[in-house]
Protein backbone atom coordinates (compact mmCIF):
# COMPACT_ATOMS: atom_id res chain seq x y z
CA UNK A 1 0.00 0.00 0.00
CA UNK A 2 1.22 3.47 -0.85
CA UNK A 3 1.41 5.64 2.27
CA UNK A 4 -0.33 8.70 0.84
CA UNK A 5 -1.07 10.12 4.31
CA UNK A 6 2.28 9.17 5.82
CA UNK A 7 3.05 6.36 8.27
CA UNK A 8 -0.47 6.52 9.70
CA UNK A 9 -2.26 6.01 6.39
CA UNK A 10 -4.11 2.92 7.68
CA UNK A 11 -5.56 4.86 10.64
CA UNK A 12 -6.55 7.78 8.41
CA UNK A 13 -8.32 5.41 6.01
CA UNK A 14 -10.18 3.73 8.89
CA UNK A 15 -11.21 7.15 10.17
CA UNK A 16 -12.48 8.15 6.71
CA UNK A 17 -14.55 4.96 6.50
CA UNK A 18 -15.91 5.47 10.02
CA UNK A 19 -17.18 8.96 9.12
CA UNK A 20 -19.81 7.25 6.96
CA UNK A 21 -21.07 5.23 9.94
CA UNK A 22 -22.08 8.24 12.03
CA UNK A 23 -25.75 8.88 12.70
CA UNK A 24 -27.43 12.29 12.34
CA UNK A 25 -27.45 12.66 16.15
CA UNK A 26 -23.73 11.85 16.35
CA UNK A 27 -22.98 14.45 13.66
CA UNK A 28 -24.98 16.99 15.66
CA UNK A 29 -22.99 16.08 18.79
CA UNK A 30 -19.69 16.54 16.95
CA UNK A 31 -20.86 19.88 15.55
CA UNK A 32 -21.87 21.18 18.97
CA UNK A 33 -18.68 19.88 20.62
CA UNK A 34 -16.48 21.51 17.95
CA UNK A 35 -18.26 24.85 18.38
CA UNK A 36 -17.79 24.69 22.16
CA UNK A 37 -14.07 23.81 21.94
CA UNK A 38 -11.38 26.33 22.80
CA UNK A 39 -10.35 28.20 19.63
CA UNK A 40 -7.00 29.19 21.14
CA UNK A 41 -6.09 25.56 21.88
CA UNK A 42 -7.07 24.58 18.34
CA UNK A 43 -4.88 27.38 16.92
CA UNK A 44 -1.98 26.26 19.13
CA UNK A 45 -2.41 22.68 17.92
CA UNK A 46 -2.28 23.78 14.28
CA UNK A 47 0.76 25.95 15.03
CA UNK A 48 2.48 22.93 16.59
CA UNK A 49 1.64 20.85 13.52
CA UNK A 50 3.05 23.49 11.22
CA UNK A 51 6.20 23.98 13.32
CA UNK A 52 7.12 20.32 13.59
CA UNK A 53 6.16 18.99 10.17
CA UNK A 54 8.62 18.75 7.33
CA UNK A 55 7.41 19.93 3.93
CA UNK A 56 6.64 16.34 2.92
CA UNK A 57 4.84 15.64 6.22
CA UNK A 58 2.88 18.88 5.92
CA UNK A 59 1.68 17.87 2.44
CA UNK A 60 0.52 14.49 3.79
CA UNK A 61 -1.21 16.09 6.78
CA UNK A 62 -3.07 18.54 4.55
CA UNK A 63 -3.98 15.75 2.12
CA UNK A 64 -5.52 13.72 4.96
CA UNK A 65 -7.38 16.78 6.26
CA UNK A 66 -8.64 17.69 2.81
CA UNK A 67 -9.97 14.21 2.03
CA UNK A 68 -11.61 14.01 5.46
CA UNK A 69 -13.33 17.34 4.96
CA UNK A 70 -14.75 16.18 1.63
CA UNK A 71 -15.88 12.84 3.08
CA UNK A 72 -17.52 14.62 6.01
CA UNK A 73 -19.32 16.99 3.66
CA UNK A 74 -20.69 14.09 1.62
CA UNK A 75 -21.67 11.95 4.62
CA UNK A 76 -23.36 14.87 6.37
CA UNK A 77 -25.20 15.93 3.22
CA UNK A 78 -26.76 12.47 2.88
CA UNK A 79 -28.01 12.74 6.46
CA UNK A 80 -29.18 16.34 6.01
CA UNK A 81 -26.64 17.68 8.52
CA UNK A 82 -24.71 20.29 6.59
CA UNK A 83 -23.20 22.39 9.37
CA UNK A 84 -19.63 23.44 8.48
CA UNK A 85 -18.40 22.72 12.02
CA UNK A 86 -18.67 18.97 11.33
CA UNK A 87 -16.45 19.34 8.27
CA UNK A 88 -13.96 21.38 10.30
CA UNK A 89 -13.92 18.71 13.02
CA UNK A 90 -13.15 16.05 10.41
CA UNK A 91 -10.37 18.28 8.97
CA UNK A 92 -8.82 18.70 12.43
CA UNK A 93 -9.08 15.03 13.38
CA UNK A 94 -7.60 13.70 10.12
CA UNK A 95 -4.65 16.09 10.44
CA UNK A 96 -4.04 14.93 14.00
CA UNK A 97 -4.23 11.26 13.00
CA UNK A 98 -1.80 11.80 10.12
CA UNK A 99 0.66 13.70 12.35
CA UNK A 100 0.06 11.72 15.54
CA UNK A 101 3.35 11.62 17.50
CA UNK A 102 4.55 15.04 16.47
CA UNK A 103 1.78 16.99 18.20
CA UNK A 104 1.72 15.35 21.63
CA UNK A 105 -1.34 16.23 23.70
CA UNK A 106 -2.63 18.52 20.96
CA UNK A 107 -3.78 15.28 19.30
CA UNK A 108 -6.69 15.26 21.75
CA UNK A 109 -7.50 18.91 21.10
CA UNK A 110 -7.93 18.20 17.39
CA UNK A 111 -9.65 14.80 17.70
CA UNK A 112 -11.81 15.69 20.71
CA UNK A 113 -15.04 16.60 18.93
CA UNK A 114 -15.08 13.43 16.83
CA UNK A 115 -13.61 11.45 19.72
CA UNK A 116 -16.85 12.15 21.56
CA UNK A 117 -18.65 9.78 19.17
CA UNK A 118 -15.71 7.69 17.87
CA UNK A 119 -14.11 5.96 20.87
CA UNK A 120 -11.20 4.78 18.73
CA UNK A 121 -9.97 8.40 18.52
CA UNK A 122 -9.89 8.96 22.26
CA UNK A 123 -8.17 5.67 23.08
CA UNK A 124 -4.54 4.68 22.77
CA UNK A 125 -2.82 5.95 19.68
CA UNK A 126 -0.77 3.57 17.52
CA UNK A 127 -1.52 0.74 19.91
CA UNK A 128 -4.22 -1.86 19.92
CA UNK A 129 -7.70 -0.55 20.39
CA UNK A 130 -11.02 -2.20 20.94
CA UNK A 131 -13.50 -1.35 18.19
CA UNK A 132 -16.77 0.23 19.21
CA UNK A 133 -19.88 -1.91 19.22
CA UNK A 134 -21.90 -1.40 16.08
CA UNK A 135 -25.63 -1.63 15.72
CA UNK A 136 -27.12 -4.41 13.59
CA UNK A 137 -27.92 -1.79 10.96
CA UNK A 138 -24.24 -0.86 10.65
CA UNK A 139 -22.97 -4.46 10.86
CA UNK A 140 -25.18 -5.59 7.99
CA UNK A 141 -24.62 -2.46 5.94
CA UNK A 142 -28.37 -1.92 5.70
CA UNK A 143 -30.16 1.26 6.58
CA UNK A 144 -33.63 2.61 6.17
CA UNK A 145 -32.25 5.05 3.60
CA UNK A 146 -30.90 2.29 1.33
CA UNK A 147 -27.39 3.67 1.53
CA UNK A 148 -24.43 1.37 2.12
CA UNK A 149 -21.26 1.96 4.11
CA UNK A 150 -19.47 3.60 1.20
CA UNK A 151 -22.30 6.06 0.69
CA UNK A 152 -23.51 4.37 -2.47
CA UNK A 153 -26.98 3.01 -2.95
CA UNK A 154 -27.13 -0.75 -2.69
CA UNK A 155 -29.34 -2.95 -4.77
CA UNK A 156 -31.13 -5.75 -2.94
CA UNK A 157 -29.33 -9.08 -3.22
CA UNK A 158 -31.00 -12.03 -4.88
CA UNK A 159 -30.70 -15.46 -3.29
CA UNK A 160 -28.03 -16.61 -5.73
CA UNK A 161 -25.91 -13.46 -5.22
CA UNK A 162 -25.64 -13.99 -1.48
CA UNK A 163 -22.86 -16.22 -0.20
CA UNK A 164 -23.24 -18.58 2.73
CA UNK A 165 -22.81 -15.79 5.27
CA UNK A 166 -25.63 -13.76 3.76
CA UNK A 167 -23.40 -11.04 2.32
CA UNK A 168 -23.65 -10.04 -1.29
CA UNK A 169 -20.75 -10.57 -3.65
CA UNK A 170 -18.68 -7.60 -4.78
CA UNK A 171 -20.01 -7.93 -8.32
CA UNK A 172 -23.61 -7.32 -7.23
CA UNK A 173 -23.09 -3.74 -6.08
For the stretch 24-56, pLDDT in tens is 999 999 999 999 999 999 999 999 998 888 888
Q: What is the pLDDT of residue 16?
A: 84
99 and 170 in a single domain? The answer is: no
d(CA 19, CA 25): 13
**Model confidence at 171: pLDDT above 50:** no
Banded pLDDT at 23 (limits 50, 70, 90): very high
15 and 85 in a single domain? The answer is: yes
16 and 88 in a single domain? The answer is: yes
Mean pLDDT computed over 43-71:
90
Banded pLDDT at 100 (limits 50, 70, 90): confident
State how far Cα 106 lies from the chain centre: 18
Please tell me the total count of domains within the chain: 2
% residues pLDDT > 90 (the chain): 34
Higher-confidence residue: 112 or 127? 112
152 and 112 in a single domain? The answer is: no
Q: Please indicate, yes or no, if residue 100 is contained in any of the structural domains.
A: yes
pLDDT tens track for 125-169: 444 333 344 444 444 444 444 444 344 443 444 444 334 444 444
Residue 152's domain comprises 135-173
Closest CA to 142 of 159, 158, 155, 131: 155
50 and 109 in a single domain? The answer is: yes
144 and 115 in a single domain? The answer is: no
105 and 47 in a single domain? The answer is: yes
Q: What is the pLDDT of residue 90?
A: 94
157 and 82 in a single domain? The answer is: no
Amino acid sequence: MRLIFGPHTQRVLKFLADLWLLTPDEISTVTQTWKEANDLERAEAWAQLHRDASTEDWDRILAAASVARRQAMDAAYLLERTDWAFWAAAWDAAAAIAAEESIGSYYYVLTGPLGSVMPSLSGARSGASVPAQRTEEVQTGKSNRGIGRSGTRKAPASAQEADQTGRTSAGSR
